Amino acid sequence: MSNTAACQLPLDRWMAERIGIPVESITRQRIRQYHLRGLKDTLRHARSHSGFYSQKFATLPADLPHTLEDVCRLPFTSEYDLVRRGHDFLCISQSRIARVVTMQSSGTGGEPKRVFFTAGDQGLSLDFFAHGVLSLLSPGDRMLIALPAEREGGVGRLLARGIGRAGVEALLHGLPTNMDALLQSCRSLQPACIIGFPVHMLAMARHPLASAALRSLRVIVLCSDAVSPALRSTLQALTGAEVFEHYGSTEMGLGGGIDCGAHDGYHLREADLYFEIVSTQTGQVLPDGEVGELVFTTLHREAMPLIRYRTGDLSRFLTDPCPCGSQLRRLERIHNRVHSFITVGNGATLTLTMFDNALFPLQGLQDFRVQLHRGTPERLDVILDAPGSDAAFVNQAERALLALPAIASNRATGALELHLSMAHDPLPVSQVKRRIEVCCEH
């Protein structure tokens, strides 16, 4: 990486500041040394103050890890652990907790999981937002935040505080429940950028008044859910804005990575997180470039450090240099989760990404829901949210789905029924990641 290129990369500058070196001196070896120091500090903190980790690591040598290769000797942490023993993770007194986020879990019987943060922990996220936004915008630009913002400490308000540090003006809208109101905000406030959930941004772009209301937009940032190539390209074609993607989760501290102008994967938040890719079957660390489950360890987290936390997201590290010149690791876009694959009929596989790529290019579609009903035969119900569309649209959507071999082959043999319908009212706004809902026998 040239000195000139390094100076233009906000996240690399941030990483260099954390290491304590000039940005032109940043290398992967320097980053690895920083990670090893951070991991040692994190493990000492967790062993000494967390009831969960002091018990979990009781039989391990006290001086692990000696090298980054030793990290694989540490046990994983799972969503199940957070649900069952969340308070045992805490390393500080409850009086120092500044924010508790309660979320629905995906695989533990629906019980909630809670993640705890101190003011310092949230400050790490503010730093990430402040440096990350400068990869997309310039000081003085305006960003409209179409994310939950009702509570102090929520994602919308944290993002507003973070980008404010970078001189970007935050315009808090909140989670959009009415596209007319969102477009009115765009028309009156004239933001250069808007950030929101992918399906909400697509619904906005397909609104009849969008072209007049979105003239000021140069940048759209998608977050909080997987983004299919079809949705991304459709959104860019409709608006003419450059579309960026942010990857993260509450467990990560709301920020994990963001793509750059090359739009070839996420540059990871390596100043605060250490990432691995492991085999879903064996748990072994995979060589760079191989697809597996993303695992991360928090660095510098005070309240609730997470060590080798299994995200359930499937991806791989990209090994070729990014055209932008960044030294930060890149993660390929995440399009599937470990438990997002469902089988139908003859054992063929379906994923939500397949539905996204088939349906989102259809003009007028704003959102959809998929339910698979187990039985003999199995039944696939697809509810389409496409205001003003008619039966011809349903037929068009059916043809698009029958182009998927898993659906076509099983329907042909009678093992699968396909039912499509139009939503009578707009589908309810979802604040959780979309998925195929699997139901019992119909």
Report whether 234 contacts 201 (CB < 8 A). Answer: no
Q: In this structure, is residue 205 part of a structural domain?
A: no
What residues make up the domain containing 428?
Answer: 342-439
378 within a domain of the structure (yes/no) = yes
Q: How far apart are CA 134 and CA 307, in angstroms?
A: 29
Cα separation, 143 vs 27, in Å, equals 32
Cα→Cα distances 200→82, 84, 174, 340, Å:
30, 33, 12, 21
How would you write the pLDDT of the chain (442 residues) with one tens digit per residue? 333 333 458 999 999 999 999 999 999 999 999 999 999 999 999 999 999 999 999 999 988 999 999 999 999 999 999 999 999 999 999 999 999 988 766 554 567 889 999 999 999 999 999 999 999 999 999 999 999 888 777 789 999 999 999 999 999 999 898 889 999 999 999 999 999 999 899 989 999 899 999 999 999 999 988 888 889 999 999 999 999 999 999 999 989 999 999 999 999 999 999 999 999 999 999 999 999 999 999 999 999 999 999 999 999 999 999 999 999 999 999 878 887 788 888 889 998 889 999 999 998 888 899 999 998 899 999 999 888 888 899 999 999 999 999 999 999 999 999 999 998 877 766 555 677 888 876 5
Residues 6+ apart with CB under 8 A from 200: 146, 175, 176, 182, 429
Checking DSSP bridges between strand 336-337 and strand 309-315, what pairing results, if any?
antiparallel
CA pair distance 178, 363, nearest whole angstrom: 20
Split into its structural domains, the chain has a count of: 1
Domain containing residue 360: CATH number:
3.30.300.30
Q: Is residue 412 part of a domain?
A: yes
Q: Is the CB of residue 19 less than 8 Å from the CB of residue 26?
A: yes
205: tokens are: 């772009």
In a domain, 156, yes or no: no
List, in sequence order, every residue forming a beta bridge with 114; answer none if it has no partner. Answer: 102
Is residue 89 within 8 Å of 52, Cβ to Cβ? yes
276 closest CA partner among 86, 39, 47 = 39
Could you tell me where the DSSP H helices lie in 28-118? 28-49, 51-56, 79-85
CA distance 327 to 262: 14
